Amino acid sequence: MAEFRFLKDFPLLDSIHDADDVRALKPEQLENLAQELRDFLIQTVAETGGHLSSGLGTVELTIALHHVFQTPDDRIVWDVGHQSYPHKILTGRKDKMDSLRQKGGIAGFPKRSESPYDTFGVGHSSTSISAALGMAIAAKTHHQDRKVVAVIGDGALTAGMAFEALNHAGTLDANLLVILNDNDMSISPNVGGLSNHLARILSGRLYSTVKEGSKKVLRNMPSMWALAQRAEEHVKGMVIPGTLFEELGFNYIGPIDGHDLDTLVATLQNLKHLRGPQFLHIVTKKGKGYPPAENNPCFYHGVSSFDPHSGLIKKSSSGAASTPTYTQVFSQWICDTAAKNSELMGITPAMREGSGLVQFSEQFPERYFDVGIAEQHSVTLAAGMACDGLKPVVAIYSTFLQRAYDQLIHDVALQNLPVLFAIDRAGLVGPDGPTHAGSFDLSFMRCIPNLVIMAPADENECRQMLSTGFHHSGPAAVRYPRGKGPGVSIDLQAPVLPIGKGLTVRPGKHIALLAFGSMVSACVPVADELDASLVNMRFIKPLDEDLILRLANEHKIIVTIEENAVAGGAGSAINEILSHHKMTIPVLNLGIPDNFYEQGSREECLAECGLNSFGIIQSIQAFLHEETLANGRLIT
Q: How confident is the model at residue 413 (pLDDT cuts 50, 70, 90)?
A: very high
Highest mean pLDDT among 171-175, 543-547, 622-626: 543-547
CATH topology of domain 503-631: Rossmann fold (3.40.50)
Tell me which residue of 566, 540, 414, 435 sits closest to 478, measured CA to CA: 540
Query: pLDDT by residue (tens digit) across 442-482?
Result: 999 999 999 999 999 999 999 999 999 999 999 999 999 99
Calculate mean pLDDT across residues 360-366: 97
CA nearest 84: which of 47, 34, 50, 133? Answer: 50
Q: Three-state SS for 564? A: strand
Nearest to 498 by CA among 541, 468, 473: 468
pLDDT confidence of residue 186: 36
**Sign of the alpha-carbon dihedral angle for 291, 292, 297, 300:** negative
Bridge partner residues of 344 (DSSP): 391
Q: Which of 543, 599, 588, 590 is nearest to 565 (CA)?
A: 590
Which residue spans of the chain are classified as CATH 3.40.50.970?
11-303, 326-479
Give CA–CA dist 444/401, Å, rounded.
Answer: 10
Q: What pLDDT is recorded for position 192? A: 57
pLDDT of residue 195: 54
Catalytic residue among 93, 286, 479, 541: 286
The one-letter amino acid at 258: G
Q: Which of 221, 183, 227 shows the shortest CA–CA distance to 82?
A: 183
What number of other Cβ atoms are within 10 A of residue 227's Cβ?
A: 12
Which element (helix H / strand E) includes 478?
strand 476-479
> Is 636 in contact with 467 (CB distance < 8 Å)?
no
Q: Which residues pair with 514 in a beta bridge?
A: 535, 560
Give the residue with greater pLDDT, 263 vs 191.
Answer: 263
Inform me whether the pLDDT recorded for 115 exceeds 90: yes
Closest CA to 119 of 69, 74, 58, 153: 74
What is the Cα–Cα distance from 339 to 331, expressed in whole angstroms?
13
d(CA 400, CA 407): 13
- Nearest alpha-carbon partner for 286 in 56, 36, 50: 56
Q: 485, 511, 506: which is closest to 427 by C-alpha? A: 485
- Given this model, what pLDDT does residue 139 score? 93
What pLDDT sits at residue 166? 94
The whole model's pTM is what?
A: 0.86
The β-bridge partners of 282 are 181, 256
In this structure, of 196-210, 303-317, 535-549, the range with the lowest mean pLDDT score is: 196-210
94, 403, 425, 463: the active-site residue:
403
pLDDT digits over 28-40, tens only?
999 999 999 999 9
CATH fold of 11-303: Rossmann fold (3.40.50)
Please report, rounded to a whole number, the percentage of residues in the chain having pLDDT higher than 90: 73
Question: Which tens digit of pLDDT belongs to each residue from 183-236?
Answer: 864 333 445 554 565 566 556 655 555 455 544 444 444 444 454 555 544 544
Give the Å distances, CA to CA, from 550 to 174, 412, 583.
Answer: 64, 34, 11
CA distance linking residue 426 with residue 444, whole number of Å: 13
Closest by CA to 585, choosing from 527, 635, 519, 516, is 635
Domain 326-479 has CATH 3.40.1390.30: no
Residue 29 pLDDT: 96
Angle 271-275-280 from CA coordinates, rounded to 5°: 35
Mean pLDDT of the chain: 89
The pLDDT score that the predictor gives to residue 93 is 94
627 is catalytic: no
Whether residue 355 has pLDDT greater than 60: yes
Burial class from Cβ neighbours inside 10 Å (0-12, 13-18, 19+) for residue 439 reads buried
Give the per-residue pLDDT at 212.
53
For CATH 3.40.50.920, the residue range(s) in the chain are 503-631
Q: What share of the chain is helix, strand, coil (3-state, %, to 5)?
A: 45, 15, 40
Residue range 242-246: mean pLDDT, rounded? 80
- 8 A C-beta contact, residue 478 and residue 459: no
Neighbours of 456 (CB within 10 A): 27
**What's the CA gap between 47 and 10, in Å, rounded?**
18
Residue type, 502: G
Q: Is 626 a catalytic residue?
A: no
**Per-residue model confidence as pLDDT tens digits over 126-170:** 999 999 999 999 999 999 999 999 999 888 888 889 999 999 999
For residue 375, indicate whether it is catalytic. yes
